[in-house]
Structure 1
Amino acid sequence: MNFKNFYKSLFFLILFFSAPSVFAQTTVVTGTVTDAGNKQPLPYVVVSFTGTTTGVATDNNGKYRLATSQPYKQIKISFLGYKDAFLAVEPGKEQVINVKLFPASKQLNEVVIKSGKKPKYRNKDNPAVELIRKVIENKEKNRPEAYDYVQYREYDKMMFGFINVSAQFSDRKFFRKYKFIIDNRDSTILPGKSILPVYLDEKLSQNYYRKNPEKTREVVIGQRGVNFGPAVDNEGVKQYFKHLYNKVDIYDNDIFLITSQFLSPISNNSPNYYKFFITDTITDAKNQKLVELSFTPRNSNDVLFEGMIYITLDGNYAVQKAVLKINKHININFIRSMEVDLDFEQNPDNRYHLSRSNTIAEFGATKKEGKSGLLGMRTITYKDYLVNHPLGDTAYVKQSEESTDESKNKSAEFWERNRLDTLSTAEAKVYKNVDSLRNMPSYKRTVDIATLLLAGYKGFGKFEIGPANTFYSFNPVEGFRLRLGGRTTPELSKRYYFETYAAYGFKDKRWKYFLSATYSLNKKSIYKFPQNYIRASYQRDTKIPGANLQFVQEDNFLLSFKRGVNDKYLYNDFYRLDYVHELESHLSFGAGFKNWKQEPAGSLYFNNIVNGQPNSIHDLTTTELTASVRWSPHEEFYQGKIYRIPIPNKYPTLELDFAAGIKNFFGGEYNYRRLDFRIDKRLYLSQLGYSDLNISAGRIFGQVPFPLLTIHQANQTYAYDLNSYNLMNFLEFASDKYASFRIDHHFSGFFFNKIPLLKKLKWREVASAKVLYGGLSDNNNPTLHPSLYQLPVDANGLPITYVLGKTPYVEGSVGIENIFKFIRIDFVKRFNYLDHPNVPSWGFRTRVKFDF
């Protein structure tokens, strides 16, 4: 073999295939950009290859140099206030192209300056507004979701503390024992303020994103937080704090913070709500030119930011830095100041990603600076940002073996090595200080008293008594009523719980009582998410038909005060067996058995017609098998002593309930099937506020007496109830099929902020509407079937309970909320079925709600 010829052939073969790259020429374009009118050079003009992100900005003399190894054939020259220019280039050559730009709008022939008047702000022909519109046009390509794949490490730190606590405070006799906490102040966290940290939470995670099919996965590597003891839902506190300090994405149209929805300065319609000004041009550390764009709300009371954003002039119009603040006139309660600082870093492809987000808010009873108060800070740091680096499918799907418990047991050395930010000296001491505080007898007594006042329970170690607001109440049937109850605590066991109460009515001279036993199947408290338990219970008590209150909370003292006649009650005996299973995905299932005996009380009665003669029925017994499914994606809540308090979000909650009545099973008297469905959703409408929506529907299959029909939820108290019909009487309407719609809209001061007096009071508008369709099939009509229970009538023979016709029941309200920061007053109007006896056509109702 001729090796010489072989190597020669190999050389020419390699040369042939590599020729395109060997002989590829670099295209270099240089030149100067000037104003076509005055011939002056234009700085910061963007010159780029058309259809690409490869571009540069002209310097102070209007000069540019653009180079590429790609065969691009055209350049684009764009500048605010000027028409875009497109010019041809020759690939692979060095060339000089000087450009003259023409103004996009006509020049003014004459400028008239009048003293004493401030120029009126206008969007038209405003270069700052034109720049923000460029940012808006390029938003989607500057978001992380523009990439096919993204991965990064995230460190999330949340801190809360007291502001300006006096150094002499710890010298007072009562507080000397807490000196080790009070003296742990820091003036470096926020210059000019003394901060006493009392809460700290940290989380380190690895995050993965894939666009198609879209998947997001967070792998928690470590998490650590203070623990205030079993009396506090520490996980719920963390969720609530993070709800207040939500993650800020400036590329979103709306930014949710402190329970309010702020319009982003780069929202699609931000020029309608903000004033923009070009206040400076700067050069960053990488010699990139940026425009400093300042902005302020058109109306200082609206829920808007003020501050500055820094925009790149490389053709991407990306946000490189942002400072978002609020002014003191904003219609948000208890917030003295708030600032969000966003810093962005450059990717290898010259795009920008968020590298650090820092949100600080100061809370106080008044908005005066320098007073004591609270401060919260959430700092999120992003590192190891990697784009368009695909991984296997398993990287984007949560694995079953992932354990959050393991991440909570990381050592102090782990955090020292892996923390992406630093802790101040005072922050570093918080964990040890809170651990010491939690074991102090005086702290336990204080928490005990607070639990009694706020949650209604008084603890005695393994058992607690309450709730306190049910100790005393009254009603027309029982008269004066006393009740005492309690339940076991996790100190006895986390697996099983007992709850009980006993009550006595001095008018009807009857005892009422409740007893339940619950066993947790997942070794967690039944009050912790995700729940997985089985419960057996028995209850004998009174109930108002159509008043759908909490299972053991019917005798709340405040509910004793009602309008009109409300002496139609039931004595109920419930035997129940319930199973509840929640999944991490917030999909939950339930199943149960219920034996229910109803006995009329007060002026209520059960009558039917037998062989043409009136017949009185002492009681009604039914046996039901139940099933339910509920889905509430991304649900967060604070777990109280009795209830879960949901933290609102934009996701819907869907619930489907099924019950089957079985005749001759444990004394059941009727066969029937009942199906109920509801969907709840909060709808955010940016500056127009938000709406709480509810759609419900139900149907009963089979023949049942009226106590088993859907008795629509009425309210005869003077409080405004979101879920009830506030001008409907108890027992007024019954149906075996229904559909309803409810909307409660909060305008958040959208209109009042523009009225001088109301603007100062910071009142907010609210409106609601409730519509109920219903009906009764012939199968359940007691007029057609006399053996069914007759619908109740009063002493004069006038009907009390009605059937909805083709016309729906409608009521609506308009109101004012945020009176004294926590009172809501509604004027409620009932629009139809006004010929029913003793029904109000209008009324005022009050609701107490603490909100920001």
Structure 2
Amino acid sequence: SREIVKASRISGIEEDYSLAQFTGHLHVNVNLYDNYINIFEVKFASPLSEHGLLYYKYFLVDSMQINGRKTYKIRFHPKGTSTPVLDGEVNIDSASWALQSAHVKMLKGLNVNWIRHLVIENTNELVNDSVWFPKQDKLFADFTIVMSDSAKLVSFLGHRQIDYTHVRLNEPIPEEVLKLDNNVIISRDVLKNDEQYWDTVRPYELSMKEKQIYGMVDSVKNVPLYQNIYTVISTILGGYYDTKYVGIGPYYKLFSFNKLEGCRFQLGLRTTSDFSKKIRLFGHLAYGTKDRHFKGGGGLEYMFKDLPTSKLTLSFKHDVVQLGAGVNAFTEGNILSSILSRGNNDRLSLVNQGDISFEQEWRQGVSNTFAAQVRNIFSSRYVPFIRPDGKEMSSIQSLSFRLRTRLSKNEIIVRQTFDKFSLGSDYPIFTLDLSAGVKGIFKNDYEYYRLEGTVMWDIGFPPIGTSKFALSGGKIFGKVPYPLLKLHEGNATYFYDPYAFSCMNYYEFASDLWASLMYEHHFKGFFLGKIPLMKRLKWREVFIFKALIGTLEKKNNGSLEDTRAILLFPEGMSSVSKPYFEAGVGIENIFRILRVDAIWRLSHRHSVPGQKVQNFAVNFSINLNF
């Protein structure tokens, strides 16, 4: 399928052409023939599902003539509400058993957030006396931000109607359409159309009420209360307080503290899209009261093209980093990581690092990133670089080149001026990284090759929830000091990181050949929804399992007594040739945003010198989901 957006009109929110891709058909495709209808991240069991008798009771209430064809009216009602279900009626053509029309709504009392009311109307028509094709789709949603179903509440109404006209069957598809790379084709000019244009292209004239909506929502933007709410929300979600040309932040890094720096103060700035839609400048300056040292960094991003992405990034920093941390945002320099630290956040390293990268998206779902990095990691009292002969190495330098390939299918991407965010895919997402270290440029640099691959896949298993897999593995070829090995991702905070091991410390395990599995299953209230009291709370169950195995060649194993490694390992760090496992259970959707997990360490449960093992961890996280 291809969707070519020729024009779009957006009122009330920022008129960003990237938002126009979500006003069409593909991103909210309500197809009642599917077994499960995915709307706002909720998978509703369809009344036409192959498994419909598990969820619904059906009643034949009438037979009638519609356009000269005998049609059956069938009403259906859900058997229970422990899973997302609908209620309503469908009209079925008696000769072809095709869906002629449907009127369905979401049942009250479901374990669904933010949506108070949802109605779907669907109409199909027979084209050329041969094919039933959509004629009109309507979707109405009433969103509320309060917990109780009260008449005195703040709500937002969403209404979308799609009309299908000029349907042509069995005609050759134009070559210029077939060769298009993206499922949704859109240009920046889609918003540049006047009212006269819209009057000529709409299949139906707007009603007086619909015409008044445009004026109403535009006037709301000038209300001070709306402007204040918008500023607060955008700052919380984006991290930056934006003026017209400069953003200040991120706010959660303005102040933090750790054992290496003491109290850390940081100020960061970046330009906004009003400054330029082609180039974004960014930088930060930080100071630690304990080490009395200024740090900082900066860089620029230049967009050659945004759809598909063609982007150059240059950056440099002189700052502290946590080697071996996961991709969690709550790592170094973050007030939340300081407050919610488990006490072992002292193993930070000062680095000088310069990066240059170029991302080229060849088509939707296929992209490469070409990158080069110069890095100088300094020894410290918390992370010393000690040779086997007992002498300390002041720093480790490296020059590396990297080629990253990312493959996905039918992935939904939110594109902003400089950033893009994945909303996931029904298919696996593959990434492959090839890196090479170059020797001979610096005093302490190394030649090595690194291969790493990852597969991420979210699989729905309605009605018992969704499983999320992240399987990764890699190999390092060559002799390198331990900061250049794979330092497995620990978590020293009480915040949950789905891509780190909750009960593992930093610098606990290292490998040059490894494989790991991160697995979560979200039951979406399948069990708790059947318990009367729990049903009212709308809590949802989560199961977690994570596994890791890795090995070290003797030339890289700095934990051996007769080691031939370049550096001795920090006290307590070793290989993970004996597999590491942890598992846990959690409750999410507490007050609709909070998640709490209890996680147990299943192997490597005994402490060793230099590493106090944590066999049980409680993690928290905040999630905004429907």
Give the structure-2-normalised TM-score.
Answer: 0.91
| Code of the aligned partner of 1:601 | S
Whether 1:581 and 2:396 are equivalent positions in the alignment is no
Other-structure match for 2:88: 307
Other-structure match for 1:258: 40
The match for 1:541 among 319, 328, 334 is 319
Other-structure match for 2:582: 811
The match for 1:337 among 103, 117, 124 is 117
Within-5 A mapping of 1:767-782: 767-782=543-558
Other-structure match for 2:197: 414
Distance 1:304 1:826, change over 3 A: same
Other-structure match for 2:10: 225
Other-structure match for 2:336: 558
Distance in 1, matches of 2:343 and 2:330, equals 24
Tell me if structure 1 keeps the 8 A contact 2:43–2:462.
yes
Other-structure match for 1:474: 257
Give 1:531 shift: 3.2
Other-structure match for 2:106: 326
Distance in 2, matches of 1:650 and 1:517, equals 34
Distance in 2, matches of 1:363 and 1:395, equals 37
| Code of the aligned partner of 2:471 | I
The match for 2:78 among 297, 304, 307 is 297
Aligned residue for 1:386, secondary structure, equals coil
| Code of the aligned partner of 2:112 | I
Give 1:382 shift: 1.0
Aligned residue for 2:84, secondary structure, equals coil
Distance 1:327 1:242, change over 3 A: farther
| Code of the aligned partner of 1:310 | N
| Code of the aligned partner of 1:222 | A
Distance 1:581 1:741, change over 3 A: same
Give the number of the structure with larger relative contact order, counting CA–CA contacts within 8 Å between residues 6 or more apart.
2
The match for 1:839 among 607, 613, 625 is 613
Distance 1:243 1:456, change over 3 A: farther
Q: Deviation digits for residues 368-397 of structure 1, max 9, x if unmatched?
A: 457541111111111222323345655533
Give 1:687 shift: 0.9
Distance in 1, matches of 2:524 and 2:227, equals 39
Tell me if structure 2 keeps the 8 A contact 1:337–1:362.
yes
Give 1:624 shift: 0.8
Tell me if structure 1 keeps the 8 A contact 2:361–2:368.
yes
Distance in 1, matches of 2:5 and 2:617, equals 53
Distance in 2, matches of 1:748 and 1:731, equals 35
Distance in 2, matches of 1:846 and 1:507, equals 30
The match for 1:248 among 30, 43, 47 is 30
RMSD: 2.8
Distance 1:358 1:446, change over 3 A: closer
Distance in 1, matches of 2:224 and 2:333, equals 34
Aligned residue for 2:326, secondary structure, equals coil
Provide structure 1 residue ranges, at least 5 long, that are not aligned to the other structure: 1-215, 523-527, 794-799
Give 1:745 shift: 1.0
Give 1:657 shift: 1.4
Distance 1:552 1:302, change over 3 A: closer
Shifted more, 493-502 versus 237-246: the winner is 237-246
Distance in 1, matches of 2:419 and 2:180, equals 30
| Code of the aligned partner of 1:250 | L
Tell me if structure 1 keeps the 8 A contact 2:257–2:335.
yes
Distance in 1, matches of 2:479 and 2:495, equals 36
The match for 1:628 among 404, 407, 413 is 404
The match for 1:595 among 374, 380, 403 is 374
Whether 1:569 and 2:348 are equivalent positions in the alignment is yes
Distance 1:779 1:341, change over 3 A: same
Tell me if structure 1 keeps the 8 A contact 2:556–2:564.
no
Within-5 A mapping of 1:701-780: 701-780=477-556
Q: Deviation digits for residues 755-800 of structure 1, max 9, x if unmatched?
A: 222122211111111111211123322335435111111xxxxxx1
Other-structure match for 1:4: none
Distance 1:731 1:639, change over 3 A: farther
Aligned residue for 2:165, secondary structure, equals strand
Tell me if structure 2 keeps the 8 A contact 1:240–1:637.
no
| Code of the aligned partner of 1:225 | I
| Code of the aligned partner of 1:497 | R
Distance in 2, matches of 1:435 and 1:602, equals 59
- Larger Cα Rg: Structure 1 or Structure 2? 1
Distance in 1, matches of 2:330 and 2:310, equals 21
| Code of the aligned partner of 1:466 | G
Give 1:327 shift: 1.3
Aligned residue for 2:120, secondary structure, equals strand
| Code of the aligned partner of 2:613 | V
Tell me if structure 1 keeps the 8 A contact 2:554–2:565.
no
Give 1:469 shift: 1.0
Distance in 1, matches of 2:32 and 2:58, equals 16
How many residue pairs match? The answer is: 616
Tell me if structure 1 keeps the 8 A contact 2:460–2:466.
yes
Tell me if structure 2 keeps the 8 A contact 1:224–1:408.
yes
Distance in 2, matches of 1:642 and 1:264, equals 38
Distance in 2, matches of 1:395 and 1:505, equals 57
| Code of the aligned partner of 2:143 | F
Distance 1:330 1:399, change over 3 A: closer
Give 1:702 shift: 0.6
Distance in 1, matches of 2:538 and 2:18, equals 30
Give the structure-1-normalised TM-score.
Answer: 0.68
Give 1:744 shift: 1.1
Distance 1:393 1:446, change over 3 A: closer
Aligned residue for 1:378, secondary structure, equals strand
Distance 1:431 1:580, change over 3 A: farther
| Code of the aligned partner of 1:815 | G
Other-structure match for 2:568: 790
Distance 1:244 1:483, change over 3 A: farther
| Code of the aligned partner of 2:595 | R
